[in-house]
Structure 1
Amino acid sequence: MDGGRGSGGTPRRSSCSENDVHAAIPRLEEELRFVLENCSNDIDVESLVDLRSLSAPSSMSMGDESGCSPGDETGGGGDFNADSSPSLATAAEEAEGAGSTSSRSSYRFTRNIRVVDLLPPDAVEDLRGIVERMFAAGQGWECARAYGAARQEAVELCLTRLGVGRLEIGDVERLEWDVLEANIRRWIRAARVCVRVVFASERRLCQLVFDGHPDDAPFTEAVKSAALQLFDFAEAVSTSCRSPEKLFKMLDLHDAMADLLPDIADVFQCCPSSEPIYTQAADILPKLTEAIREIISEFETAVLLDPPKTPVPGGNLHPLTRYVMNYLGLISDYEPALVELIATSPSARSQFSDNDPAAAAAAQIAVPKPENQTPLAAHLTWIIAALHHNLENKANLYKDDALSHLFFMNNLHYIVRKVQSSPELSAMISDEYLRRMKRIYRQLGRGYQRAAWARILHCLRDEGMHVGGKLSSGVSMSTVRDRFRAFNAAFEEVHRTQAMWVVPDAYLREELRISISEMLVPAYRGFLGRYRQHVENGRHPGTYIKYSVDDLELALSDLFEGSPSSANNRRRFR
């Protein structure tokens, strides 16, 4: 029997060596975890959230284009050398050479990607040695698992410091809107830091530590949990219930994801095990696009069908009018993004089924379709037309025709003024449509004057003032007195009532007062000149002639203020 061999024919020296190596594996794993947990640089992620350098549009891709292998570098710093500060904020702000290729890095740095040293160079060297020994012993999987578990804690700590918690779709649905809005705002800032600094730096560290071992499992194990938690929130928001107030944060989220996606691809897509992370992130964009389109469509329907309830006091602006026009102004601020997202123009046939209650109302809406009008501009025009239609129904709530006209005029004038005051909106709403709305609100102004003042002007007519109805006959004193009494009563009633009515636009208010004055004052002056002598020659003339022409003009300045106080203070009786 050969004393130099074991029973299996294997040399005893080799067997002992293998046993020694396997026995050392737990100690190597412990050393690996110790270095990762105790030698990591303290990264100040909170100071990065508002850096403009992380919010710049992507311009270049990150890939192994420098011609240098990961083994050419001993630190994980990319553009930053081994002696640089561990603070991410400091590193990012010092990266003035963005866009250039580091002479030692496998990354091609852009204005977006910022890689920093997560471990000092000597710790990286120690880890390389541990990794080499574990892989040589056939313990590559255990090595990757131990490395991933240790780095996962550090990555998740960064997420916690950035204020990103784990929220599922149900959690998102239950959040109050102001809380969700704050979370989205915080998420956008955190996502830029995570993708462009934290995840990119983790990938670079993994390349350095596992140099020569192309398996990317350690990197995936390190960042997968945090990355999925990060993107799960954006996905939950994209599938949450649609409501108009969510549109603009949805757009912010869409813009942020579209801006980040090339960097997400650079970090994750080139690695087979981490590519599903990129796929999940890429799938969020079409979901956000669909959500944005649905919100706009549902907003159109809501504007069209907002039920008429109680008339607004004094014919003032309806809250719906203010809300819709302010909403459209905000939409126009997002025109560059929305022009790309809104691909089809609105139509009653495509939006509503035949039995939909909105279908009949939508069928009554006709809007001009200028050449080269974008689908977004068509949607905004349609929303204004739907608002116009709804306001017409709300105007019918008023029992007083004059107040109905005033209300409708106020609201249409406000719509036109809001469009004209916004360069973005006025560029999308056709001049033809605005001219049509101007014609309508001017017609409404004339309709208001007829309804409100015809009865008063009727008191100032000459018909019936003479005895027997003949001009050659003398003036009937009783008729003259009756006419002055009727005029006073009618004017005081209109004055008292319409001082409480409201025309919120100062220019329109003054224009309307002037128009009334030009119609009423000459008629009253002429009537007073023709008949005052017949009253003043009789008893108690002040009982019949209460107003001078100046008094009348002064009283008209009280109209449409929405307050009764000025009526008693300004009116003077003779």
Structure 2
Amino acid sequence: MILIMSIKIQRWLMQQEVWRFVGFVSAVIGLICYSLSSSFNHLFGSWNSLKIFLYFCFSFIICFITLFGKVWQFSSSVLFKARLSVLVLIATSVYSFFYDRAMNGKPDAYILISCVAFAVMSFSLSKQTHFGFEVDLLYFFLGCIILQLMKINLLLAFVGSGFSYFLIILRSSSLLEFSELQDQDHSVIQVDSSLDDALIMSQFMACISKLKNQNEFLVSRVQRHVNLFQAKELLIRDNLLIDSLPLETILDLQETVKLMVAAGFEKECCHIYSSCCRGFLEECLRLEELDLKEEEKILDITMQRWMNACYVALGILFPSERKLCHRVFFGVSPATDLSVMVVCWEFTIGLLNYANDLATGSRSLNHLRCSLRVFHTLPGLISMFDSVFSNHHSASLKNEAIEIRKRLGEAIRVIFMEMEDHIFLDMVPKVVPHDGIDLITYSVESCFNIVLEYRDTLEQIFKEYPISMVSDKEGTFSSILSIRMDKIMELLHNNLEAKSKNYTDPAFAYVFLMNNYNYVVNTATCGLETTLRSDWIKKHTTKLQQNLEHYQRTWDKVLDILKLDSNESMTPLAAAESMKENLGLFNQQFKQICSIQTTWFVFNEQLREEIKISIGKMLLPAYESFIGRFQTLVGKDAYEYNEYVMFDIEALLNNLFLGKQNVQPREGNISL
């Protein structure tokens, strides 16, 4: 990581845009502070319109030079540069003479700030232009800073000397730098060389430009590999670049590299070639577009793109770049191979960082699925490191990937544990505002689906932790994953039972439990039989049947009304009056129950039909017997009291549990 950071800082300090911006800002600050300083008033008097106009023009010229100054590649106009240096020397000398005469006291803060800013501006100019006076101007302002600090306090001379030493050393540490030409997208080297060296450099830059143009056509081809990627079909293709590039381009580049190294430009050649390699990889992979979002679809797409990028980079791009590098620099410069490998290594670290962010970031069932995908993918990536990197770099990356995989495994295990805690803590006294499937049940079902998809991977993760194998009642050993899932299901059972006790209507509570138990059992029987212990499904199927029986008993008060009176001493008239009263009571209670339970909803159609059939088997025979006896006693007048015929009863029962058909199962995503 330290190597990568140093490379990034060095590359950042070599960017021309950085020094342009620094120089421009320093010039603006220096000009503003100098206009406010006391020395300006002593030298030039008070402000007036003419002085404002002249100072504005002078400031505009200075800012323009610092912002748009360019490096002179060749030193052909030596006479011009010498004259310009003499002119600057005379100007600074004259300024020093009049400044010393006008200023006798201590300098103010404005003049100190302006000198520091002008020194930084001169340093920036020395990194961009080669007019010949930049270094002299830098030394002049550094000397002014030291002298003015000494006027304030002699000890402050050490501060000025330290600042001067820092700028001079910083400039001396990079005598050869690279900067962009205004109308071309390539690098040139800041050296005063002979005409032959200049021609070699020009030839090399032409080859690099041709290589960049060829890479632009290769980007779309590589991106097709990314978009159409299937891991099982991917093979390492280390000849992709060599096979795709024209042989003439490779041979020209190879010959020019030999000339560059022979001319003493080995480091510059390595840097330019590595920069070209970096630009091509960035265009192909576009890692900055990857992001870890909470939404499931976005997260899944992001993880799929991450997997594609990993396999395409390690299986195609990096081996191809390495083989092309060996071809171009064969027998010339082993350092170039290292430069290209550092670029590939940095990209690989970036890919691993996405996996690490997933391991240390948000925890939810959506992240659980993606974490398992990455956990399952990492061994395949680790096996590719040896084919791309040298032993040292490969070992370092392997260790990093193994640590990230370990953190992913720990995060996955924690997600399961926190899910158990969440189910347990969710058993607070509250009424679920619907009779359907609880959000916790949906979350457990989502967990089931993940377990089904990544059963082997989860078994591997849980086996890496010191949890002993436990035998069940039948004497067979259950896996750690099975034990974990059994515990989650037991917690879910307790959760649902606790919530059902909050309902004032027992029938509603039983329908709620039947909905949830049926949903879980159906999910479990779709493939989890081998993951859950054998007695679990039997246990919850029995629970479902018991709740159906409990629900049926809630109709007992209606069935009791329809029971025929066996009192033989009762006269037919009294019996008829009693049955009239019971029939009216039945009509009232049956209508009330139907009006309520038609608003309830049972998601599973088979369960819904089973409940309605069970009610019909109890109610219809009893009602038919009651109505037959009633018509015998009352005669033709029975129709005045008989509000429902058998067809009406069947129709009303058939409409039960259909009231919320618009309710759709919700996706469970517990944020842990």
Q: State if a TM-score over 0.5 links the two structures.
A: yes
Partner of 1:544: 641
Counterpart CA distance in 2 for 1:56 and 1:407 is 48
Partner of 1:208: 327
Indicate whether 1:159 and 2:282 are aligned.
yes
Indicate whether 1:505 and 2:604 are aligned.
yes
Counterpart CA distance in 2 for 1:119 and 1:383 is 65
* 8 A Cα contact 1:29 1:146, kept in partner: no
Alignment of 1:93-104 (within 5 A): none
249-258 or 259-268, larger mean C-alpha shift: 249-258
Counterpart CA distance in 2 for 1:245 and 1:121 is 47
> Could you list the per-position Cα deviations for residues 299-349 of structure 1 after superposition, in whole angstroms to 9, with x for gaps in the alignment?
232233335544243x222233234213311331122322222227999x9
Counterpart CA distance in 2 for 1:198 and 1:403 is 62
State the 1:227 CA deviation: 3.1
* 8 A Cα contact 1:316 1:503, kept in partner: yes
> Could you list the per-position Cα deviations for residues 90-140 of structure 1 after superposition, in whole angstroms to 9, with x for gaps in the alignment?
xxxxxxxxxxxxxxxxxxxxxxxxxxx899431343155236526xxxx6x
Indicate whether 1:247 and 2:390 are aligned.
no
125-134 or 254-263, larger mean C-alpha shift: 125-134
Partner of 1:395: 500
Alignment of 1:76-87 (within 5 A): 84-86=243-245
Question: Amino acid of the residue matched to residue 441 of structure 1?
Answer: L
* 8 A Cα contact 1:127 1:209, kept in partner: no
Structure 2 SS opposite 1:39: helix
> Could you list the per-position Cα deviations for residues 200-244 of structure 1 after superposition, in whole angstroms to 9, with x for gaps in the alignment?
122223333443455552233443443333332232222212222
Residue ranges of structure 2 left out of the alignment (5+ in a row): 1-191, 662-672
Counterpart CA distance in 2 for 1:263 and 1:396 is 57
Partner of 1:405: 510
Indicate whether 1:479 and 2:578 are aligned.
yes
Residue ranges of structure 1 left out of the alignment (5+ in a row): 1-19, 63-76, 87-116, 350-366, 565-574
410-419 or 251-260, larger mean C-alpha shift: 251-260
Question: Amino acid of the residue matched to residue 510 of structure 2?
Answer: H
Counterpart CA distance in 1 for 2:627 and 2:225 is 79
Partner of 1:459: 561
Indicate whether 1:493 and 2:622 are aligned.
no
State the 1:479 CA deviation: 1.8
Counterpart CA distance in 2 for 1:297 and 1:283 is 21
State the 1:263 CA deviation: 0.7
State the 1:523 CA deviation: 1.8
* 8 A Cα contact 2:240 2:320, kept in partner: no
Question: Amino acid of the residue matched to residue 85 of structure 1?
Answer: S
Identity among equivalent pairs (%): 24
Counterpart CA distance in 1 for 2:578 and 2:230 is 85
Indicate whether 1:185 and 2:307 are aligned.
no
Counterpart CA distance in 2 for 1:149 and 1:520 is 89
* 8 A Cα contact 1:346 1:378, kept in partner: no
* 8 A Cα contact 1:33 1:150, kept in partner: no
Counterpart CA distance in 2 for 1:48 and 1:125 is 28
* 8 A Cα contact 1:242 1:295, kept in partner: yes
Larger radius of gyration: 2
* 8 A Cα contact 1:503 1:560, kept in partner: yes
Counterpart CA distance in 1 for 2:294 and 2:570 is 83
Question: Amino acid of the residue matched to residue 151 of structure 1?
Answer: S
Partner of 2:654: 557
The structure with more helix, counted as a fraction of residues = 2
Counterpart CA distance in 1 for 2:267 and 2:477 is 58
Counterpart CA distance in 1 for 2:357 and 2:275 is 23
Counterpart CA distance in 2 for 1:332 and 1:345 is 21
Indicate whether 1:36 and 2:208 are aligned.
yes
Cα 1:197–1:441 shift into 2, 3 Å? same
Structure 2 SS opposite 1:292: helix
Indicate whether 1:288 and 2:391 are aligned.
no
* 8 A Cα contact 2:386 2:394, kept in partner: no
State the 1:498 CA deviation: 1.6
Partner of 2:613: 514
Structure 2 SS opposite 1:414: helix
Partner of 2:524: 419
Counterpart CA distance in 2 for 1:131 and 1:243 is 55
Indicate whether 1:448 and 2:620 are aligned.
no
Counterpart CA distance in 2 for 1:339 and 1:460 is 58
Counterpart CA distance in 2 for 1:369 and 1:292 is 30
After TM superposition, the score normalised by the length of structure 1 is 0.70
Counterpart CA distance in 2 for 1:194 and 1:262 is 13
Counterpart CA distance in 1 for 2:241 and 2:207 is 20
Partner of 1:49: 226
State the 1:445 CA deviation: 0.5
Structure 2 SS opposite 1:501: coil
Partner of 1:342: 462
Counterpart CA distance in 1 for 2:627 and 2:241 is 96
State the 1:273 CA deviation: 5.4
State the 1:290 CA deviation: 1.9
Structure 2 SS opposite 1:530: helix
State the 1:385 CA deviation: 2.3
* 8 A Cα contact 1:338 1:376, kept in partner: yes
Structure 2 SS opposite 1:547: coil
* 8 A Cα contact 2:382 2:401, kept in partner: yes
State the 1:446 CA deviation: 0.6
* 8 A Cα contact 1:148 1:218, kept in partner: yes
Question: Amino acid of the residue matched to residue 544 of structure 2?
Answer: Y
State the 1:518 CA deviation: 1.4
Counterpart CA distance in 2 for 1:241 and 1:522 is 58
Partner of 2:384: 263
State the 1:442 CA deviation: 0.5
Partner of 1:126: 255
Indicate whether 1:302 and 2:302 are aligned.
no
* 8 A Cα contact 2:261 2:269, kept in partner: no
- Over the aligned positions, Cα root-mean-square deviation in angstroms equals 3.7
* 8 A Cα contact 2:597 2:656, kept in partner: yes
State the 1:53 CA deviation: 6.8
* 8 A Cα contact 2:515 2:603, kept in partner: yes
Counterpart CA distance in 1 for 2:247 and 2:347 is 17
* 8 A Cα contact 2:240 2:316, kept in partner: no
Cα 1:78–1:559 shift into 2, 3 Å? closer
Counterpart CA distance in 2 for 1:515 and 1:175 is 45
Structure 2 SS opposite 1:426: coil
Cα 1:55–1:33 shift into 2, 3 Å? farther
* 8 A Cα contact 2:599 2:656, kept in partner: yes
Indicate whether 1:429 and 2:532 are aligned.
yes
* 8 A Cα contact 2:238 2:317, kept in partner: no
State the 1:443 CA deviation: 0.7
* 8 A Cα contact 1:118 1:201, kept in partner: no
Partner of 1:229: 350
Cα 1:317–1:183 shift into 2, 3 Å? closer
* 8 A Cα contact 1:152 1:221, kept in partner: no
State the 1:438 CA deviation: 0.9
